[in-house]
Amino acid sequence: MSKNFSDDRNQQQGLQMNRRKFLKAGAAAAVTMGLMGTVGAMPAVAAEAAVGSSVTVNGARSKLKPTGQYGPASVKFATFNNEWLGTTKLVGEVKNINEAETGFSRAGRGLYGKESQIGRGYFIRKDPAGAAEHDTLMILATEPAVQGKVSPVKLNVPDPEQMSQNIKDFAYYLRADEVGIGKMPDFAWYSHKVTDQHALAVNDVEKAVTPVTDRLPYVIIVMVDQNLETMLASTGYDQISGAQSFLGYHATGVIAVVLANYIRNLGYNARAHHARNYKAVMTPCIISAGLGELSRTGDCSVHPRLGFRHKVAAVTTDLPLLPDQPIDFGLQDFCRVCKKCADNCPSGAITQDTEPVEYNGYLRWNSNMETCTKFRTTNKEGSSCGRCMKVCPWNTKEESWFHSAGTWIGSHGQISSKLLKGMDDMFGYGTEQIDKYKWWLEWPELLATPEKMPGLVKY
Ligand code: SF4
Ligand code: SF4
């Protein structure tokens, strides 16, 4: 059952404390509320982290960004082995997924109804900015772009750590916000990739897919922020929502294609994966590369500084590299008590269960992929949806000592998680819309009749 949040938005915002006034009031107000006492109780190193310095870095150090990019969160390192993918317990065989069974592919096959099947072909075109970003990425989706020729001259790479540093620096130079290197999880590869959209549209899966036989040992993840101000001004499911996703998708796609080309110029195999041409599921790769933990949504990872407010692309490669470790910033405890994404999901797709369940070999929370995909492909108020991204406390950040302290607190178990969640709710983080940041134009007629748009491309 869909919820309508528009009607009570003003009322909610009226009840919430004006956090800007509070932040201006500074430490005096904090002392009144007893929050400085909490900061004062932190260990010295952590208290330093809470006011803005960085934690120890993972893996090879970048020269351009030599310290950790985790923000104020308290981060430990976890492992990737047969039993654990970071903080996610592996309780059985994780089967490789056929791309034809993913949410948007199932919508394209007509399994979620006609409206969703048609909507899947044009929802991004409900906003001209989203369509522009999408179409640009399509130009980079060809096989020569993602997997071109490898140079016949293989250059010597004597030091994998130095090479890893160089790869991270090149990606930062190309304007990535985060870069991580992971051991490629074998189960992250798709078993089959959709290669024939026409066959998919008539649900001829056998003809629509091709087996994926690639097996390269490392994955490089490049991550781009979806823009704080845009998120603060948006509902998360309005006209800019699809464009915000494709900001991250097209930007990371460009970086991944160039990075893969660079590695092939060194004489090593490299394949770019982006939103218009994946051969692998990204979330296990993100976790392996130390850029997030699996969240309550089941399919999406949260980064300790950016939350969900990011998109990624990847490069798989056999270039000699030093992989990073997965990270643990306390998200499992936090998600157990928070449920803010579930409370705010307009389609009710995210579980309210307290404990994770077994799903395809993972112990994880399980969201309803069908309900979410149907909403995103048929949303009458906007293009797609990212409401869960907007409300998650880990990405609703402004630069302030107050939020830094809260984020540090949130990394320390369930009781502290309740405190951060309470602070987040009290200040209206994640649910407000700040008009001064609304930079985009809207065309409601495109929401009503996008299928009549010139240049409609179904995919
Ligand atoms: S994108 Fe997130 S908030 Fe929107 S419908 Fe899907 S799960 Fe719910
Ligand atoms: S909103 Fe809360 S429950 Fe949902 S992913 Fe973020 S921290 Fe976890």
Q: Which of 169-178, 336-345, 391-400 has the lowest mean pLDDT?
A: 391-400
User: Which tens digits make up the pLDDT trace of 384-438?
Assistant: 999 999 999 888 666 555 566 666 666 666 666 666 667 667 666 667 889 999 9
| Cα 236 to Cα 346: distance, rounded to the nearest angstrom | 10
- Determine the average pLDDT of the residues in 19-48: 39
Mutate to test the pocket of ligand 2, among 293, 294, 333, 335 (most ligand atoms within 8 A of CB): 335
* 193 closest CA partner among 146, 253, 249, 128: 146
Asked if residue 302 has its Cβ within 6 Å of ligand 2, the reply is: yes
Question: Between these two residues, 397 and 180, which has the higher pLDDT value?
Answer: 180
Q: Give the single-character DSSP code of 326.
A: P
- Which ligand sits closest to the CA of 340? 2
pLDDT at residue 317, rounded to an integer: 98
pLDDT at residue 357, rounded to an integer: 96
pLDDT at residue 57, rounded to an integer: 54
Asked if residue 334 has its Cβ within 6 Å of ligand 2, the reply is: yes
Asked if residue 392 has its Cβ within 6 Å of ligand 2, the reply is: yes
- Which ligand sits closest to the CA of 375? 1
Asked if residue 276 has its Cβ within 6 Å of ligand 2, the reply is: no
Cβ(201)–Cβ(286) below 8 Å = no
- Determine the average pLDDT of the residues in 78-86: 96
User: Which tens digits make up the pLDDT trace of 90-119?
Assistant: 999 999 999 999 999 999 999 999 999 999
pLDDT at residue 412, rounded to an integer: 64
Q: What is the mean pLDDT of the chain?
A: 85
Per the rule left: phi > 0, alpha: psi between -120 and 50, beta: everything else, 290 is left
Rounded to an integer, what is the distance from CA 366 to the centroid of its chain? Answer: 17
> Nearest 5 degrees, angle CA 40-CA 41-CA 43?
100
Which atom of ligand 2 is least distant from the CA of 295?
Answer: 5
Cβ(194)–Cβ(287) below 8 Å = no
**Residue 80 reports pLDDT greater than 80:** yes
Asked if residue 388 has its Cβ within 6 Å of ligand 1, the reply is: yes
**Residue 335 reports pLDDT greater than 70:** yes
Count of Cβ atoms closer than 10 Å to residue 265 Cβ: 15
| Cα 265 to Cα 157: distance, rounded to the nearest angstrom | 13
User: Which tens digits make up the pLDDT trace of 346-393?
Assistant: 999 999 999 999 999 999 999 999 999 999 999 999 999 999 999 998
pLDDT at residue 70, rounded to an integer: 85
Domain boundaries, the chain: 9-452
Dihedral sign computed on CA atoms, order 416, 57, 399, 341: negative
Which residues have a Cβ under 8 Å from the Cβ of 169 and sit 6 or more positions away? Answer: 62, 63, 64
Cα Rg of the chain (Å, integer): 22
Tracing tokens 């406390």 back to the chain, one arrives at: 393
| Cα 290 to Cα 81: distance, rounded to the nearest angstrom | 14
Cα–Cα distances in angstroms (integers) from residue 331 to residues 108, 122, 140, 298, 437, in the given order: 33, 35, 34, 13, 29
Q: What would you measure as the largest C-alpha separation in the chain, in angstroms?
A: 68
